[in-house]
Amino acid sequence: MGSYSHKTFDALALFSGGLDSILAAKLIQEQGLRVLGLHFVSPFFGKPDKLEEWEKTYGIKLIPVDISREFVNMLGKGSRHGLGKTLNPCIDCKILMLSRAKEMLPDFGAGFIISGEVLGQRPMSQRLDALNIIKRDSEVKNILIRALSARRLPPTDPEKTGLVDREKLGSLSGRGRKEQLKLAAEYGIRSIPTPGGGCLLTEKESAKRYLPLFKHKQCTDPDDFYLANTGRQFWHDDHWLCIGRDQSDNLKLEELARENDYLIKLTSFPGPLGLGRPLNNKRWTPEIIESACELVSRFSPRAREFNGQVGVTVKQGRVSREILVRPGQPEQPVQWDEPVWDRELAKVISKAG
């Protein structure tokens, strides 16, 4: 992946790394036009570490575009166009990405945008009415080429002026992938990405992790969602505790820790790292801290086997102290629960603001 800020391109392409996004960029690039792929990144989607490999594999220049802040703000305000099956606001998401791509056009001297949307492929965001809403609200009406379905849609400015040969664009529709695979073979693309973009908002197992955060925190931050993606999650009212499942989680928790987070670790036994995040500037009571320490200690087999009290170190900023707990004590005054998927709560959240 290079730095392309000083280069000029004809078009910017939304590039998720999915087959449709690759083919859409290729359809324009094969006409001799210069295409730069924008790979959007947020706590929920994006694989910026793959860009170099993709550039080599598909021969498309790519840059990462971080839209975490705007995306999280949009989720916090509530979805304008509704959610898909889980917590995925696909129409709002597309509007956000296209609006950002439009803003970036002058930076690269580019005149139009390419996307890999296929008419009728997805129930929510790729019906004709949804495609029209996306185009209207992102204000890209005449400069967005949905290259795979272009011949089924009204001509755009670059097609009208002859910059892009409409006849060489696609006329795909529907859910099948046969035509895409045929096109991929024509372009010599052997590495076919599996369908489904891996957006965490579409999967209940990951989306459920975000629900308590929306419920309990007045104003969310992208880092909160990276934290929600990490380790085991536990909540007691608005008290949030994350516990690493392995070394990689523990390292991530350390990286994500902020000054006023509680870092919890067994003093004399091997075990996971716990991170307690106080929300809305609310300090934790000694009772809550002690129960968090007890929970963290339960995930250490050696501490559990030890028949007695074990020391747990709690660090907040520069202040560190040790608390004694008994792992697995049956009667716990504070109950920590793991998040569960709740469609009704998701609906309420999506209408917030």
Contact 78, 353 (CB under 8 A): yes
Give least dist CB 79 to ligand SF4, A: 10
Contact 282, 269 (CB under 8 A): no
Strand, helix or coil for residue 48? helix
Residues numbered 102-131 forming contacts with ligand SF4, rule: CB under 6 A: 125
Cα–Cα dist 63/37, whole Å: 6
Return the number of the residue (25 or 199) whose C-beta is nearest ligand SF4.
Answer: 199
90 lies in the binding site for ligand SF4 (CB under 6 A): yes
Q: CA torsion sign, 284 to 286 to 290 to 291?
A: negative
Tokens read off for 190? 């052997």
Q: How many residues at the interface with ligand SF4, by CB under 6 A?
A: 11
Residues numbered 138-197 forming contacts with ligand SF4, rule: CB under 6 A: 197
At 86, which amino acid appears?
A: T
350 lies in the binding site for ligand SF4 (CB under 6 A): no
Return the number of the residue (85 or 216) whose C-beta is nearest ligand SF4.
Answer: 85
Q: CA torsion sign, 227 to 229 to 233 to 238?
A: positive
Return the number of the residue (124 or 345) whose C-beta is nearest ligand SF4.
Answer: 124
Cα–Cα dist 313/173, whole Å: 59
The site map against ligand SF4 for 186-205 (x = CB under 6 A) is -----------x-x-xx---
76 lies in the binding site for ligand SF4 (CB under 6 A): no
Give least dist CB 139 to ligand SF4, A: 18
Residues numbered 9-48 forming contacts with ligand SF4, rule: CB under 6 A: 45
Return the number of the residue (84 or 276) whose C-beta is nearest ligand SF4.
Answer: 84
DSSP per-residue string spanning 83-119: --SSS--HHHHHHHHHHHHHHHGGGGT--EEEE---B
Q: Which of 81, 94, 209, 232 binds ligand SF4 (CB under 6 A)?
A: 94
Measure CA 8 to chain center.
29
Return the number of the residue (93 or 150) whose C-beta is nearest ligand SF4.
Answer: 93
At 229, which amino acid appears?
A: N
Helices 19-29 and 51-58: crossing angle in degrees, nearest 10, is 50
296 lies in the binding site for ligand SF4 (CB under 6 A): no
Give least dist CB 102 to ligand SF4, A: 17
Tokens read off for 98? 């296209």
Give least dist CB 203 to ligand SF4, A: 10
Tokens read off for 170? 């696609």
Give least dist CB 88 to ligand SF4, A: 4
Q: Which residues bind ligand SF4 (CB under 6 A)?
A: 45, 88-90, 93-94, 125, 197, 199, 201-202
